[in-house]
Structure 1
Amino acid sequence: MKSVMKSVTTLIAALSILVLASFGCRPNESEPVSVARTFAEAVRRGDVDGMLAVVEHPAVDHLELVAERAGDQVGGRRGIEASEMLQIVGVDRTVAVADAELLEDDGERARVELTMTDGRTVRLELVWEQAIAGGDDSPARAGGWKVRIPLPSSPTLDADPLAPGVQPSGA
């Protein structure tokens, strides 16, 4: 009976490792590394929604604003989702993450280096975000480690042309 229990325990442990590996996680891997792997895998698959799930909230908020403006540009005839504003192109779908290393983690920011199967390395910065409770107009958002995406700095994106005090171009 003892050997049967040991075999079952070994089988369960092996299956747990297999399941973790299939989801891009490794046993004892830190959360920032796991999130970086998830992001890289979503990019590799061309999965915009999967990528946005692990991107920092300000970047997603920016995409939602741009999507709303794009909807306004077509006369509001159609609502445009933030995920429609991105298209992942030029990614070799055969290149995956071979190794990942946590370079730095101070509890608020982390840096992860991904080594790809083609030998290239990619460094990602992650930030810790608190969960956001959903209100009347805003959806709830999960907290945790998120990949930092640099936001564009453009007066045409930052200024609302319909806001009071903003002059339309050419006026």
Structure 2
Amino acid sequence: MGRLVYAANTSLDGYLEDATGAFDWSVPDEEVHAFWNDHERHVGTSLYGRRMYETMRVWEDDDWLEGEPAVVREYADVWRDADKVVFSSTLQQVSTARTTLERRFDPAAVRALKESTDRDLSIGGATIAAEAFRHGLVDDCVLLVCPVTVGGGKPAMPPGLRVDLELLAERRFAGGAVLLRYVVRVP
């Protein structure tokens, strides 16, 4: 059975993006990018909300990758190799290969998807991840804490919901970011 992993870059004060929607403070250096490449290699399917999908679909296009470091070009290949499911009631169509559009988040369908694979699934986007947390679907959290506070914005973890976690691993990166990997403890 696959594990559903919530993976995100977060500010030290717990936000995915600041109050203006910016997340430029979380752009990874080569060491962090290499970590994300290795992490994503184990993912068979990525689950996205509309906004996260619209952010990530840039990896489908090769035009901007020319001249980028090898670690960045490698991520494009890793991203393209995974299946993607986008949950959106407003998106008209998807524009990337290996991508399915679902009109609503169906916890039973996500549970069935987890049960039908031996590869990890990732979930990206605060709103859709909050739904997965609320339905007890998230197995692991991989949080890369960036050395910055932004003072407000979109919270990395679902507001109003208690999630008990057990620390599995930690790692410090030369640029000051810290990786925290947790398993979700089920009461």
Relative to total residues, which structure has the larger strand share, 1 or 2?
Answer: 2
The two structures have a TM-score, normalised by structure 1, of 0.23
From the CA coordinates, give the structure whose radius of gyration is larger: 1
Q: Which structure: greater helix fraction?
A: 1
Which structure is richer in relative contact order (CA contacts within 8 A, separation 6 or more)?
2
TM-score by length of 2: 0.22
